[in-house]
């Protein structure tokens, strides 16, 4: 594919990622009158796949796809160009950056990385079929839909245990399935709460081999052959941050692969900011992602104006 000429492709800010963090950064950057462009392979991030969101201010409930469409429309209304493409490489020229996508080469003064994470999949029968129809990767988002129902949580870390605890606020029964013989990664406090909760049944040394149902999830099959009836399956086996771009730039990551930022959302690389689930924040939610996106855009704006 022929690349576009870079002579007229110079920007103040390039945002990489089209989830809540990237879109909010674009909104703020546009209002600061920066020349900005947003790149994303898909639009809306993980938030767009949530069946229903009930914890975002101003909405009692809203489908994830609908919420993200509203954000996209706001970005477009501000005149920000959105490119559904992938950034293949970044070259740090100290005073500016050269970015190459599949179709063009561009120059920018600042970068905000908001590529988010991808949930670890089990890759078992039924997982993809029932995604959004009983299969979820976010108890915080979807737990309220399981009032007086039965749910299965898969995993043994803090995320799995806290998801199981949250689900007991709604569900009548929660199965917590973990492939090891005991919890060893989770905090002792969470383990204690889970073990004392009468609604939670812990099943160690088991794995799910299939999620079954008709139109929606009806149950799961375990490795032992046993079947459990369930209205929903919450997969909490971790998430994987995008590392391709961070490796190119030499950005410092924490032990789990998330970008380390300061309070201004700056990375260790001058001119590069990060926001949203890709960062090492402790709460990965839409509301925190939007906040980080706003902070990143504000500080990118300050640096651009200072340098100018």
Q: How far is Cα 280 from Cα 277, in angstroms, rounded to an integer? A: 8
Q: Which residue in the list 12, 141, 231, 277 is annotated as catalytic?
A: 141
Q: Which residue in the list 12, 54, 142, 192 is annotated as catalytic?
A: 142
Q: How far is Cα 279 from Cα 288, in angstroms, rounded to an integer? A: 11
Q: How far is Cα 129 from Cα 213, in angstroms, rounded to an integer? A: 10
Query: Which of these, 214, 200, 284, 205, lies nearest to 19 by C-alpha position?
Result: 284
Q: Which residue in the list 138, 214, 254, 262 is annotated as catalytic?
A: 138
254 is catalytic: no
Q: How far is Cα 135 from Cα 118, in angstroms, rounded to an integer? A: 15
141 is catalytic: yes
Q: How far is CA 234 from the centre of its chain?
A: 16
SS (H, E, C) 99-137: EEECCEEEEEEEEEECCCEEECCCCCCCCCCCECCCEEC
| Residues carrying an active site annotation | 138, 141-142
């Amino acid at each position: 594919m022929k690349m576009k000429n870079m002579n007229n492709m110079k920007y103040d800010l390039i945002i990489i990622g089209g989830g809540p963090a990237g879109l909010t950064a674009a909104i703020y950057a546009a209002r600061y009158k920066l020349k900005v462009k947003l790149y994303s392979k898909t639009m809306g991030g993980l938030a767009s796949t949530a069946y229903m969101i009930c914890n975002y201010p101003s909405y009692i409930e809203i489908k994830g796809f609908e919420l993200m469409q509203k954000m996209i429309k706001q970005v477009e209304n501000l005149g920000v160009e959105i490119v559904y493409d992938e950034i293949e490489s970044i070259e740090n020229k100290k005073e500016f950056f050269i970015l190459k996508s599949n179709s063009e080469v561009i120059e920018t003064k600042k970068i905000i990385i908001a590529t988010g994470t991808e949930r670890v999949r089990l890759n078992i029968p039924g997982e993809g079929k029932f995604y959004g129809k009983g299969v979820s990767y976010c108890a915080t988002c979807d737990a309220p839909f399981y009032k007086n129902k039965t749910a299965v949580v898969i995993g043994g870390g803090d995320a799995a245990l806290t998801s199981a605890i949250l689900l007991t606020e709604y569900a009548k029964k929660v199965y917590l399935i973990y492939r090891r013989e005991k919890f060893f990664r989770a905090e002792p406090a969470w383990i204690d709460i889970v073990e004392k909760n009468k609604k939670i049944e812990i099943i160690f040394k088991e794995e799910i081999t299939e999620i079954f149902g008709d139109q929606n999830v009806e149950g799961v099959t375990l490795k032992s052959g046993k079947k459990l009836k369930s209205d929903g399956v919450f997969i909490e086996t971790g998430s994987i941050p995008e590392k391709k771009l961070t490796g190119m730039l030499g950005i410092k990551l924490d032990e789990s692969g998330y970008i380390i930022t300061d309070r201004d959302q700056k990375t260790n690389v001058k001119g590069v900011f990060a926001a949203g689930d890709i960062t090492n924040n402790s709460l990965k939610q839409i509301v925190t992602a939007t906040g980080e996106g706003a902070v990143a855009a504000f500080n990118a704006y300050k640096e651009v104006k200072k340098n100018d």
